[in-house]
Homo-oligomer: A and B are copies of this chain.
């Protein structure tokens, strides 16, 4: 027997929306369905949120928060490259275990950021975790004369990680004959190639961990 939820309706709405999106994706989010499930009229949520987008922004912000928390909670290492590897693993882990939440954050047409400063702040924090970590790691110099190498390398690493899980979780991947083992292998190889790209691993010296 479920105990009745005594939290303010505002919190209940966000929780319920979060649950719906995690289970069925953002397309399935319906204000009226949520209101019905919470046992209130279809207009009640409007007393707490100006529009559907405002609820969505709240869920997105919350998703970024738990994503950042997951990254911070990775195993730590004194060795910068190893630590970066842990972060990469944590990134992939989150994306593969929370695919719809991940898709919501990175693959969706989000509400206008100007209207939702909280969402903006939470999303920026996720990127700065990666960027800050990179600052203290001696990556191989590419001598391409860019003035903010850490920023571009952060983008590169992010892009690779994102691309990997985004593709593996995408509908397009379903069009390819990929087993779960294939996916795991792809992630492993990607992590090794990533190490090579950053100058942390030679082709010759690699038959195990990065």
A interface with B by C-beta (< 8 Å): 25, 27, 103, 105-110, 113, 120, 123-124, 127, 140-146, 149, 151-153, 155-156, 158-164, 166-167, 170-172, 174-176, 182, 185-186, 188-190, 192-194, 196-199, 203, 206-207
Contact = CB atoms under 8 A, between A and B. Distances in A.
Contacts of A105: 172
Count the copies. Answer: 2
Contacts of A193: 142, 153, 156, 197-198
Give me the 9 closest cross-chain CB pairs, A-B, nearest first.
A163-B163, A159-B163, A197-B197, A140-B203, A110-B171, A107-B107, A159-B164, A143-B207, A193-B197
Interface of A: prevailing SS: helix
A155 B169 CA distance: 13
Contacts of A143: 206-207
B142 A155 contact: no
Nearest to A28: B109
A186 B156 contact: yes
B206 A172 contact: no
A109 B144 contact: no
B206 A152 contact: no
Given A144-B206, A189-B142, A175 B124 contact: yes
A27 B194 CA distance: 35
Contacts of A141: 203
A110 to B, nearest CB: 4
Contacts of A192: 142, 144
A167 B162 contact: yes
A54 to B, nearest CB: 16
Given A105-B172, A175-B123, A206-B144, A167 B189 contact: no
Nearest to A151: B182
